[in-house]
Amino acid sequence: MSKLDFENARKMMVDCQIRPSKVTNQRVLDAFLAVPREAFVGKSQRSIAYIDEDLPLAGGRNLMEPMILARLIQALEVRPGDSVLVVGAATGYGSAILAQLSGSVIAVETRTHLVEKAQETLVSQGIDNAAVIKSRLVDGYAAEAPYDRILVEGGVEFMPELLLQQLCPKGKLAAIYRMQSSPIGVASIWTRSGKKFVRTTLFDARVPNLDEFNKKSEFVF
């Protein structure tokens, strides 16, 4: 596909997938128009980079479906100047989108090859306000906390207290809450209110879970 083909595919993604899904924030729409999704997948996947479903990546990660990612990011209400943490960065696409909307982005990923790929791609796209760091996902990255906004790019069966504690007062965290036994999860926002965290449900969503956020099976003898 040519550069023009990809630009047209990106516009179609926004007009036919994202806008009809109640994403109306123009800053969010502009960010999705600005970031070339095809740059964040392998060469063999570039022709399908804009399909309306999750894209499996090497190493067991997925590129989240554009519509779901856009709705989560809109719900976060990211402001210029905000500090953002991305958990489960994969190849960095969500981080690139958030870099368009915020002041700075720290993204964490456990897999070394994905950390390197994500950082390399962000640099190649001229994005200089985002950094990718190797870390356990459930640990977040306390060294740069607190964050105004946190995005978990995948399904979770539980939300670690350690991650929630990295939010600023009135900060927001977005993720898909999904038990392994259920095919459908629920997009949710956790908002910090003093020492408490209030969870608000948004919409149903089908996404793969992040391994580190699966509850361990309990064996009964």
Is 164:192 a contact under the CB 8 Å cutoff?
Answer: yes
CA atoms within a 13 Å half-sphere pointing along the CA-CB vector of 190: 23
Give bridge partners of residue 133 from the DSSP assignment.
108
**The tokens of 30 are what?**
């502009």
Give me the CATH number covering residue 86: 3.40.50.150
In angstroms, the CA 68 to CA 108 distance is 20
Residue 62's pLDDT is what? 93
Task: Tell me, yes or no, whether 191 lies in a domain.
Answer: yes
Contacts of 105 (CB under 8 A, 6+ apart): 84, 85, 86, 95, 98, 99, 129, 130, 131
Task: Tell me, yes or no, whether 99 lies in a domain.
Answer: yes
Q: Are strands 104-109 and 55-56 parallel, antiparallel or unpaired?
A: unpaired
In angstroms, the CA 68 to CA 25 distance is 14
Task: Tell me, yes or no, whether 218 lies in a domain.
Answer: no
Task: Tell me, yes or no, whether 221 lies in a domain.
Answer: no
Residue 217's pLDDT is what? 58
* Cα distances (angstroms) measured from residue 126 to each of 25, 34, 96, 120, 175: 24, 12, 10, 10, 27
Residue 2's pLDDT is what? 84
Task: Tell me, yes or no, whether 102 lies in a domain.
Answer: yes
Going by C-alpha positions, the residue among 99, 12, 93 that lies closest to residue 45 is 93
- pTM for this model (two decimals): 0.94
Task: Tell me, yes or no, whether 12 lies in a domain.
Answer: no
Residue 220's pLDDT is what? 43
Number of independent structural domains in the chain: 1
In angstroms, the CA 36 to CA 30 distance is 12
Task: Tell me, yes or no, whether 182 lies in a domain.
Answer: yes
- The parent domain of residue 146 ranges over 67-213
Angle at which helix 93-101 crosses helix 26-34, to 10 degrees, equals 130
Per-residue pLDDT of the chain (221 residues; tens, 9 = 90+): 788 799 999 999 999 999 999 999 999 999 999 999 999 999 999 999 999 999 999 778 899 999 999 999 999 999 999 999 999 999 999 999 999 999 999 999 999 999 999 999 999 999 999 999 999 999 999 999 999 999 999 999 999 999 999 999 999 999 999 887 788 999 999 999 999 999 999 999 999 999 999 887 554 44
Task: Tell me, yes or no, whether 135 lies in a domain.
Answer: yes
Per-position b or e across 210-219, b if 16+ CB within 10 A of its CB: beebeeeeee
